Chains A and B, each alone.
Chain A
Amino acid sequence: MAKMVQQLALPAARVKSRPLEIVSRFWSWLFLLLLLLFFSLTGPGFFSFLNLQSIANDMALALLMSLGQTFVIIAAGIDLSTGFTMGFAAVIEAVVLNALVGRLPLGLGLALPLSILIALGVGTLPGLVNGILIGRLRVPPFIATLGMYGIARGLGFIFSGGGQPVSVQTPGVGDIGNGYLLYYHPAVGFSWLHAPLLPPGARPRDLISILPFPLIVAIVAFLLCYWLLSRTRFGRHTYALGGAPEAARRAGIPVARQTLKLYMLSAFLASVAGVLYVLRFTNGDANAGDPLLLDSIAAVVIGGASLFGGEGTMVGTLIGTLIIYVIQNGLVIIGIDPYWQFVAIGAVIILAVLMDQAKARVLNR
């Protein structure tokens, strides 16, 4: 019996491959660290609180979309529609806000929350349709969401009344989207939510703004998604669905309903990004999310998720998003032509997939 147990124990090969396994698993951390180091040494002003915070704030919208994409990709799907879903939600937010302002009491106090609710609700509908198509009608995710990519794009332009972004003129909207939680000035001290009125003689450039509003939303969303994926039945079933859909079905997991929830969650998070876009840039642009789609998928892949499903983590996605935005910011700071960003990020995506394959070889022996 004891002998049998011995033979059942894992072969020594696994133990030998440990260092390789660790490298392939944590290369993205290492890579991010090297990038930070490189740009800190070569880019003046790169490694400063304000620059790092602005990197984080710039990536907030893409991160929101990546979070939803992470769920979908782990479940062996893909959501190509998130970019235009975000734009669609942004247009709805701007149109509804413009329509409501002045017709409701309390100024923005009622109109803004109501418009946000409507934009999030309407923006989640593309996800509902995706989920039904993929979960119930068995349309391949690539096709279903590619169709929705076109539909959301068209609807975004139609609702914005023909191509031009819908401008939001109401004062105060931009203050929210560009506002910070906390401000500090040596002459005034800390003040919450509003930039302080500076006394005469105090230099405005000494004002330090801490925690921009979009970043706060992204951090909260990240924490929620992290918890949802790693600590709940919903997350566990997402992994099961991506790892072995047949096993998930046989285990009694409601596969179609889970799929529906996943695509709705993805569309919802894209809509949150769309709403934030309006608050920050005071216009609803149907094209707002288009450039973010590839970034968001790239971030998930760089973060170690497998496009075949079953693998991936929220922390990985966060690292992946950071890598993309550190490269973008750093290249600008060291004065390299911005078009090289695309080349660099494309190369990182390919590197990520190569590392993933190396990992698969190591793990599967």
Chain B
Amino acid sequence: MLEEKAQLPKAEIEQAGLGSAADARPVLEVRDLVKRFGGLVAVDHVSLVVWPGEVVGLLGDNGAGKSTLIKVISGVYRPDGGQLLFEGQEVSFASPMEARRRGIETIYQDLALCENLDAPANIFLGREPVRRRWGFLKELDDRYMLQETQHVLEQLDIHIPDLRQPIRQLSGGQRQSVAIARAIYWNARLMIMDEPTAALGVAEQQKVLELVRTLRARGVPVILISHNMQDVFAVADRVVVMRRGQKVGERRVAETTTNELVGLMVGAERA
């Protein structure tokens, strides 16, 4: 079973034209991860592997431990046990910034964008390029930021009519797109998305799912947390189901059904 899982993504890597043999190792490997809050075991010996160019859905009822698990992966929490391997190396992140520096980008529901700034300002926030004026004054290089933003949005097939307006004036889907574009621009090696379609209209949900597929095609693996079974079936390659802090099942999307997954989530079905 495990062998089989390992095989398929490798083939996909080669399809995507990214495939040197060295790349054919898991991007992320979670081994026996444990996270406790006092007496509560929020994540109970969970193991998980994410391969390049793979979309992994993370399913579970409220309180199943999904959010805690991704917060450990993205450096918000320190694990109490187990190992985290990123691109083959054991890692231990002291902060979300450290995880991000390694290329683990997390897109939370609140998006972490500055609504009063425009898209280029958000994409380059904290990492703004500067150029010198008269040799000694360091100024923002707005033209470069605008060009690069246009470029990355074009690559991702995202259309925003006026890039100079504050993000506040964009739709939810457009904002989501800017957050994703920012992660891509800064070379995300692994994207974690927490309920990316939750607050969106139908058309915008489709657009975001489209973006997830684009990421996969570019070889960037995605961990997708969602309540929405349709989303998971639409884009995920594989699903990991959690219940009460434990991983209760792992299925390839092609080989499972909504009923089976719901059964696993509520504990009616055995893994």
| A binding-site residues for B, Cβ under 8 Å | 1, 4-5, 7-10, 14, 227, 231-233, 236-237, 239-240, 242-244, 246-248, 250-253, 310-311, 363-364
Contact A231 B140 (CB under 8 A): yes
Contact B159 A363 (CB under 8 A): no
Q: Which of B131-146 contact A (CB under 8 A)?
A: 137-140
Given contacts A8-B207, A10-B169, A363-B168, contact A233 B125 (CB under 8 A): no
Q: Does B261 contact A (CB under 8 A)?
A: no
Chain B residues within an 8 Å CB radius of A251: 112, 125-127
Residue in contact with B117 in the complex, picked from A7, A231, A240, A250, CB distance below 8 Å: A240
Smallest Cβ-Cβ distance to B207: which chain A residue: A4
Given contacts A8-B207, A310-B114, A311-B116, contact A252 B127 (CB under 8 A): yes
Contact A247 B114 (CB under 8 A): yes
Q: Does B94 contact A (CB under 8 A)?
A: no
What does the 1/0 interface line of B200-220 toward A look like (CB < 8 Å)? Answer: 000110110010000000000
User: Can you pick out 30 interface pairs between chain A and chain B where the beta carbons lie within 8 Å of each other?
Assistant: A1-B157, A4-B210, A5-B159, A8-B171, A8-B173, A8-B204, A10-B169, A10-B171, A227-B137, A233-B130, A236-B117, A236-B128, A239-B114, A239-B121, A243-B114, A243-B116, A244-B112, A244-B113, A244-B114, A244-B116, A246-B110, A247-B111, A247-B125, A248-B125, A248-B126, A250-B96, A251-B112, A251-B126, A310-B114, A363-B168
Most chain B CB inside 10 Å of its own CB: which residue of A1, A5, A8, A10: A8
* C-alpha gap A176/B117 in the complex (Å): 43
Contact A244 B169 (CB under 8 A): no
Shortest beta-carbon distance from B140 to chain A in Å: 6
Contact B204 A248 (CB under 8 A): no
Given contacts A4-B206, A8-B173, A232-B139, contact A253 B115 (CB under 8 A): no
Given contacts A14-B169, A233-B128, contact A7 B203 (CB under 8 A): yes
Q: Does B161 contact A (CB under 8 A)?
A: yes
Q: Does B246 contact A (CB under 8 A)?
A: no
Contact A232 B116 (CB under 8 A): no
The interface on chain B, measured as residues whose beta carbon lies within 8 A of the other chain's beta carbons, has a size of 35
Smallest Cβ-Cβ distance to A231: which chain B residue: B139
* C-alpha gap A240/B115 in the complex (Å): 9
* C-alpha gap A8/B169 in the complex (Å): 12
Smallest Cβ-Cβ distance to A242: which chain B residue: B116
Smallest Cβ-Cβ distance to B159: which chain A residue: A5
Smallest Cβ-Cβ distance to B167: which chain A residue: A243
Chain A residues within an 8 Å CB radius of B137: 227
Contact B138 A240 (CB under 8 A): no
Residue in contact with B138 in the complex, picked from A9, A232, A246, A247, CB distance below 8 Å: A232
Smallest Cβ-Cβ distance to A245: which chain B residue: B114
Contact A240 B169 (CB under 8 A): no
Chain B residues within an 8 Å CB radius of A239: 114, 116-117, 121
Chain B residues within an 8 Å CB radius of A240: 114, 117, 121, 125-126
Chain A residues within an 8 Å CB radius of B171: 8, 10
Shortest beta-carbon distance from B185 to chain A in Å: 13
Chain B residues within an 8 Å CB radius of A9: 159, 161
* C-alpha gap A251/B138 in the complex (Å): 20
Most chain B CB inside 10 Å of its own CB: which residue of A4, A227, A364: A4
Q: Which of B144-172 contact A (CB under 8 A)?
A: 157, 159, 161, 168-171
Residue in contact with A236 in the complex, picked from B111, B121, B206, CB distance below 8 Å: B121
Q: Does B266 contact A (CB under 8 A)?
A: no
Q: Does B174 contact A (CB under 8 A)?
A: yes
* C-alpha gap A237/B128 in the complex (Å): 10
Contact A233 B173 (CB under 8 A): no
Q: Does B198 contact A (CB under 8 A)?
A: no
Q: Does B11 contact A (CB under 8 A)?
A: no
Contact A247 B113 (CB under 8 A): yes
* C-alpha gap A236/B112 in the complex (Å): 16
* C-alpha gap A61/B159 in the complex (Å): 47
Residue in contact with B114 in the complex, picked from A227, A248, A363, CB distance below 8 Å: A248
Chain A residues within an 8 Å CB radius of B139: 231-232
Shortest beta-carbon distance from B118 to chain A in Å: 10
Q: Does B48 contact A (CB under 8 A)?
A: no
